A = this chain, B = another copy of it.
Amino acid sequence: MLSSNPDFVPRIGTVLEVLSILGIFVFAASGALAAARLRQTIVTFAFFALVTGVGGGTVRDLLIGSPVFWVHDAAPAITCMVAALLVWITPRSFWSDHALDWLDAVGLAAFAVFGAAKALNFGVPPFVAGMMGVVTGCVGGIMRDLLAGEPSILLRPELYVTAAAVSSGSFVLLRWWGIDVPVASVIAALLGFVLRALAIRRGLGLPVYRGIRPE
C-alpha cells in the first residue's frame, strides 16, 4: 500500500553514499579494533576489517538480489584496508575502551538507513525494507563478534537491535510522508544513533522478558 506514493522510492544520492562509506569505515575500524584486543597481526586486522565493514551490505545485497557492492568496485575494500592500517599504526591512547561501542553505533545507524534505502530502491515492500535495514545494520557487528569469539553485541542488556529498527523504520516512514531522501536519511540516522548513544551512556533499554527464568 505504501508504494502508491510515486515519489516514495528513493534514488541513492550523495548523503546516502556518504552514510554508506562512513558506515563501512567505522565498522571496519571496529573490526580491526576487535583484532587488536585479540593481539592479532596486521593481516588478521585486515580480514576482520573487511568482514565487519562489508558483511552487512553483502548480506543485504544477496537477499535483495543485487550484485554484491564491493566485488566489482574496489573502493569499499580499500576503505576497509585503510581503516585496518589506521587502527594498527595509531597509538593506543587514540582508542578508548569504549571506542568499539561508539564506532559500532555510528555504523549501525548509517547502515540501517542505507540498507532500507537500497531495499526500497530494489522494489522490496516497505515492511520488509525496514527489516532489511535492521538485518544489514546488525550483521556486520554479529559477524565480528562471532569471529572474535566474543559474546554477541546483540545480547548486551542495553538496546541495540532497537536502535537499528528506529533508524530503518523511521527512514521508511519519512519517505512515505514524502520527505526528501537527504533530509530523511540524516534524521533517521540521527534518531537511531541518539537512541544507541543513550543505551551506551545510560544503559537505556526496553523492558526485558521476565516470564522465563534463565537456566
Contact = CB atoms under 8 A, between A and B. Distances in A.
Given A74-B125, A74-B128, A88-B209, 16 more contacts: A39-B209, A39-B210, A39-B214, A41-B162, A41-B209, A44-B155, A44-B160, A44-B162, A45-B209, A64-B71, A65-B68, A72-B128, A77-B131, A92-B212, A97-B215, A146-B146
Interface of A: 33, 35-47, 50-51, 58, 62-65, 67-68, 70-74, 77-78, 88, 90-92, 95, 97, 123-125, 127-128, 131-132, 134-135, 138, 142, 146-149, 151-152, 154-155, 159-162, 165, 205-212, 214-215
A79 to B, nearest CB: 12
Contacts of A123: 72
Contacts of A95: 212
Given A36-B211, A206-B43, A65 B74 contact: no
Nearest to A145: B149
24 contacts: A35-B209, A36-B212, A37-B215, A41-B206, A41-B209, A42-B207, A43-B206, A44-B155, A44-B160, A44-B161, A44-B162, A47-B154, A47-B161, A58-B63, A64-B71, A71-B132, A72-B128, A73-B125, A74-B127, A77-B128, A92-B212, A95-B212, A149-B151, A149-B155
